Chain A
Amino acid sequence: VLCSLHGLPLPSSGYSFHDIANVQIYMYTPRLYLQTMVQEQILSWYYGVWTLRGSSGNIQIFSIHSFYSTFLLLKMAVHGPFVKIHPVVLASIADSYERRNEGASRVIGTLLGTIDKHSVEVTNCFSVPHNESEDEVAVDMEFAKNMYELHKKVSPSEVIIGWYATGYDITEHSVLIHEYYSREAQNPIHLTVDTALQSNRMNIRAYASAQMGVPGKTVGVMFTPLTVKYVYYDTERIGVDLLQRTRASPTRTNGLTSDLAQVASAAGRIQEMLNTVLSYIEDVLSGKVMADNSVGRFLMDLVNKVPKISVEDFESMLNSNINDLLMVTYLANLTQAQIALNEKLVVL
């Protein structure tokens, strides 16, 4: 699919076709200067490297200068749209950022995970020491190899799938590091975590690289954004729920609650949700809000979920369950008393 933006004509030669899934075509030129305003962000140009930013990969280009008229329209990337990240990876990245050496402005490290047909799942990571200055960058590759070997012993199914860096930009050094990583894995993913909170948010982005340029002449690397999704195992999600609660406390700490308190708080949460739903219903009834049919269907489902059982049946079920539980409690208490007694008798 070729298109022209804002009426700029397409040259009839000099195309490079990347057929990637159902992706559009990239056009290239080595000396393209793009000046665009995308939601008040300015795309910048480094010779040989293009960095592209947009909120979700859709870029609207308003004005273009070029020597060989070109323009870009891109949506999807090499792997297919998804990069699935586990929260443990992000926690490690934030942690290693906090422990960085004096003077280092960013931290890099390796990402480990599994590759699937449609997506890449990042499940682990470790940081790699590196030195970065204006002109050069040095990465301790021995270290990276060693760590990978060690990690492989524990989880043999994880492979290197890319690398991460903290910070907002993709710099020239990133290209070099990316090249190194493409020796270790095919199509490595580059993840950036904005720990300096440049735009008042911690932006987490993933990129894949694609070659671009005139073959034989100047080539460059383009980083194309990928969609990032967060996935959790069930137990992970429960852990993260608990950890979310630390946000509320002023000292950023949180103890682990005891049994009945947990049930109480879960019930409290459901009650809140019911309250929200009730207020919505009242709004609809009093005409303040338009009734939405799909919401109405969900509500019907909800109400029907409480099973209709005759009173006697329910009483008998409830009583038998309660009896079971009470019996088990009694047995447990009895056992405990027994072993306590035994203890005392032995000491006599």
Chain B
Amino acid sequence: VGARVGTAASVGSWPLVGVVLKIIKHYQEEGQGSEVVQGVLLGLVVDDRLEITNCFPFPQHTEDDADFDEVQYQMEMMRSLRHVNIDHLHVGWYQSTYYGSFVSRALLDSQFSYQHAIEESVVLIYDPLKTAQGSLCLKAYRLTPKLMEICKEKDFSPEGLKKANIGYEHMFEEVPIVIKNSHLMNVLMWELEEKSTMADKHELLSLSSSNHLEKSLQLLMDRVDEMSQEIVKYNSYCRNLSKQQQQKHQYLQRRQQENAQRQSRGEPPLPEEDISKMFKPPPPPPRMDTLLIAGQINNYCQNVKEFTSQNLGKLFMAQALQHPSS
């Protein structure tokens, strides 16, 4: 991989209209319930942006489909699509999410393998519940270069992370999305506008918020619980470590004292024992999960804040309606 044009932050991603519609449709038809639906994005890399021109969905994993070969499905699809001149470069993948809970080990691993193969690949996260509330919620994420380094080394211990100075904010970076249309697509849009007779529903302006808030807060609480457990683990590890250090110290001192005594009595000193074998340091807990949980909590908080700010605006509008004279 040679020099790249622009910094990572300026890499935009440009999905086309059809891709967005396909993702929406896939979730709608197959993803009811809290299962995530996934699929592959195809496109090209142009200068410093990523153009996503097509996508196809992955079937759901079912228990009785043990012999279903995902790789084979993918290869077949790509081969067929090549026949009809569709770009078949694998530039990323998409996933639906439930209230914003997508920061997980699985995601990290998949994204790492994609990004390893192709520098600019992204994961598109589609939030259907938020979209149903009024406006399309589609975000693209990539791993930061620092995180890529760490994943390559597979060094998840606290010292490793400390060295790389990674905080939970530096794990994923968001890539701006711009939706592009071709002229033909524009014509199509005009046709649809004329012909479609659906009335405009304004879900965006609906005032009911408690349901969504409840669920989000529930998920947030679960994560915070997990986080606190991790913290407790880490704390106990630290304490054990320091206790062990103390014990080592004490042992060494006693040894020295004894040796001094023996020398004064003229006896041979005790043999030097291998202290490291006696005091095996406890294994450090992996810090990656903590990072992920912290990232997820951050995400939830962001979403909640966005939601509340929208709702505050709506409430003030409702107030204005009630007091026309003021």
Q: Do chains A and B interact in one complex?
A: yes
Q: A: which residues have CB within 8 A of B? A: 86-88, 90-92, 94-101, 123-124, 126-129, 140, 143, 146-147, 150, 153-155, 157, 195, 197, 201-202, 204, 228, 230, 232-240, 242-244, 246-247, 252-260, 262-264, 266-267, 269-270, 306, 309, 311, 314, 318, 321-322, 324-326, 328-329, 331-333, 335-336, 339-340, 342-343, 346-347
Shortest C-beta distance, B317 to chain A (Å), equals 6
Complex interface: chain A residues within 8 A of B187 (CB): 197, 202
B277 adjacent to chain A (CB < 8 Å): no
13 chain-A/chain-B pairs, Cβ below 8 angstroms? A155-B57, A235-B128, A243-B20, A244-B192, A246-B17, A256-B137, A259-B310, A262-B135, A263-B205, A263-B310, A321-B209, A326-B312, A329-B308
Interface flags, B52-67, vs A, CB<8A=1, else 0: 0110111100000000
Contacts of A232 in B (CB 8 A): 196, 198
CB <8 Å contact, A322 and B193? no
Smallest CB separation, B58 vs chain A (Å): 7
Once the chains bind, are B204 and A347 in contact (CB under 8 Å)?
Answer: no
Known: A98-B184, A129-B84, A247-B190. A336 touches B21 (CB 8 A): no
B182 within 8 Å of A (CB atoms): yes
Say yes or no: A94-B188 contact (C-beta < 8 A), given A242-B179, A252-B181.
Answer: yes
Residues of A within 8 A of B27 (CB): 235
Contact B25 A233 (CB under 8 A): yes
Contact A94–B28 (Cβ < 8 Å): no
Q: How far is the CA of A63 from the CA of B294 in the complex (A)?
A: 78
Asked whether A329 lies within 8 Å of B304 as measured between CB atoms, the reply is yes
A314 to B244, CA, bound (A): 64
The answer on a CB contact under 8 Å between B311 and A325 is: yes
Q: Report if B217 contacts A (CB, 8 A).
A: yes
B185 interface residue (CB < 8 Å to A):
yes
Other-chain residue from A87, A128, A267 in contact with B205 (beta carbon distance below 8 A): A267
Cα A252 to Cα B179 in complex, Å, equals: 8
Stretch of B75-83, B257-265, B268-276 that contacts chain A: B75-83
Contact partner, A328, options B68, B196, B304, Cβ 8 Å = B304
* B298 located at the interface, meaning its Cβ lies under 8 Å from any Cβ of chain A in the complex: yes
B242 in contact (CB, < 8 A)? no
Contact B193 A328 (CB under 8 A): no
From B295, which residue of chain A is reached at the shortest CB distance? Answer: A339
Q: A92-B18, A143-B83 are in contact. Are A339 and B168 (CB under 8 A)?
A: yes
B24 at the interface (CB under 8 A from A): yes
The reply to whether B168 and A343 contact each other, CB–CB distance below 8 Å, is yes
- B85's partner among A100, A236, A254 (CB-CB below 8 A) is A100
> Cβ of B73 < 8 Å from any Cβ of A?
yes
A99 touches B179 (CB 8 A): no
- Chain B, Cβ-Cβ closest to A197: B187
A-chain residues with CB within 8 Å of residue B17 when the two chains form the complex: 91, 243, 246
B window 275-318: CB within 8 A of A: 287, 290, 294, 297-298, 300-302, 304-315, 317-318
Does A252 contact B180, Cβ atoms closer than 8 Å?
Answer: yes
Q: Other than A86-B21, A260-B309, A309-B322, give 8 A-B pairs with Cβ distance below 8 A.
A: A95-B185, A99-B84, A154-B58, A233-B24, A239-B20, A247-B190, A262-B134, A346-B158
How far apart sit A39 and B25, CA to CA, in the bound complex (Å)? 38
Contacts of B287 in A (CB 8 A): 346
Residue B153 lies at the interface, judged by CB distance under 8 Å to chain A: no
Min Cβ gap A85→B in Å is: 10
Which residue of B is nearest A146, CB measured? B80
Question: Is the beta-carbon distance between A238 and B132 smaller than 8 angstroms?
Answer: yes
Q: Tell me if B179 and A155 are in contact (CB < 8 A).
A: no
Which listed residue (A128, A255, A332) contacts B301, Cβ 8 A?
A332
A residues within 8 A CB of B298? 336, 339
B162 contacts A347, C-beta separation under 8 Å: yes
Across the interface, which residues of B come within 8 angstroms of A127, CB to CB? Answer: 84
Is B177 interfacial (CB 8 A cutoff)?
Answer: yes
Q: CB-CB < 8 A to B29: which residues of A?
A: 123, 155, 157
Flag if B191 contacts A243 (CB, 8 Å).
Answer: no
0/1 interface trace, chain B 91-103, chain A, CB 8 Å (1 if under) = 0000000000000
Q: Which residue of A lies closest to B179 (CB)?
A: A254
- In the bound complex, what is the Cα–Cα distance between A309 and B323 (angstroms)? 11
Report the minimum CB–CB distance from A198 to chain B (whole Å). 12
- B301's nearest neighbour on chain A, judged by CB, is A332
Q: Assess A339 versus B136: contact at CB under 8 Å? Given A90-B192, A236-B28.
A: no
Q: How far is the CA of A90 from the CA of B305 in the complex (A)?
A: 37
Task: Name the CB-closest residue of B to A203.
Answer: B191
A256 contacts across to B, CB distance below 8 A:
135-138, 177, 179
Q: Does B189 contact A (CB under 8 A)?
A: yes
- Chain B residue contacts of A260, Cβ below 8 A: 309-310, 313
Residue B151 is within 8 A (CB to CB) of chain A in the complex:
no
Chain A residue contacts of B80, Cβ below 8 A: 143, 146-147, 150
A97 to B249, CA, bound (A): 77
Q: Is A322 a contact of B315 with CB atoms below 8 Å?
A: yes
